[in-house]
Structure 1
Amino acid sequence: MEWYLKVLKGHYADFNGRARRKEYWMFTLVNVIVSFVLGLVCGLIHVPWLAYIYALAVMVPSIAVAARRLHDVGKSGWFMLISFIPLAGLYLIYVLAQDGEAGNNAYGPNPKRAA
């Protein structure tokens, strides 16, 4: 939960720097769980707009953490646009799962060493 809150509070619209695998995947996991539970509850009480508000609220941090994750593997944040090409999105998942570049790269210092 701390990784989820770190992205929301500390890096809400931060597209600069690098994000570790753990930060990206923990944020994604918690976001999927919250979205599922919220969608289920909103469906039961017939208030779908609440789930839409949550989705809009986490859209920017989701894109930002994905861009920072791509920076960690040495790719531009614009690389996530590859997901619009059918089946090429699978390669994006592969890239997001890779270990980051050791040492500093063009996007900043290694976040593993800072931790």
Structure 2
Amino acid sequence: MNSMIKAARTVLSKYVTFSGRASRSEFWWWILAVFIVLFICQIIDGALILPLLGFEAFQQEGGTPLSFIVSLLVILPNIAVAIRRLHDTGRVGWWLLIGLVPIIGALVLIYFYIQPSEEEANQFGPPQPFG
């Protein structure tokens, strides 16, 4: 739990910092934290917000307003940490655009994200210790 909180603080403190590096653990702890927050937001949307808006609880037609707002707030940190993670593996951030290729692009990015960090300093800076 402490690692997840530390990752969230680190990523949010570098909200739109696209330079530098992000360790594998920082990246994956951040991803887990975002999934958990969005899951909780979905529950709050369905149980509390939709009834306040005149829909039945968990009715699909009501949408997910809180989840949508939170998703908008984490778009830039998600992109920034993904680019810093690519930097940590020695790749330029432009590789993120391969995710636009259906299925194959996402698989390639996941492969890049699970690669170990370069142990030495690279063109993007020294390794960033985490944990």
| Cα distance between partner residues in 1 of 2:97 and 2:46 | 31
Q: CA RMSD, aligned part only?
A: 1.5
Q: Select which of 87, 107, 112 maps to 1:95.
A: 112
Determine the C-alpha separation between the residues in 2 that align with 1:92 and 1:99.
Answer: 13
1:61 equivalenced with 2:77 (yes/no) = yes
List per-residue Cα deviations over 1:52-84 (Å, max 9, x = no partner). Answer: 111111110010000000000011111011111
How many angstroms apart in 1 are the aligned matches of 2:128 and 2:10?
Answer: 14
Aligned length, in residue pairs? 113
Structure 2's unaligned 5+ residue stretches are: 54-63
The residue number in structure 1 matching 2:56 is: none
| Percentage of identical aligned residues | 39
1:31 has 2:34 as partner: yes
Q: Which residue among 5, 10, 13 is the counterpart of 2:9? A: 5
- 1:41 alignment partner, SS class: helix
TM-score (norm 1): 0.91
Whether 2:21 is the aligned partner of 1:18: answer yes
Whole-angstrom distance in 2 between the partners of 1:30 and 1:49: 19
Which has the higher Rg, Structure 1 or Structure 2? 2
Q: What is the aligned counterpart of 1:82 among 85, 98, 116?
A: 98
For normalisation by structure 2, the TM-score amounts to: 0.80
For 2:106 and 2:65, how far apart are their aligned partners in 1?
29
Q: Is 1:72 paired with 2:88?
A: yes
- Code of the residue aligned with 2:115 in structure 1: it is Q
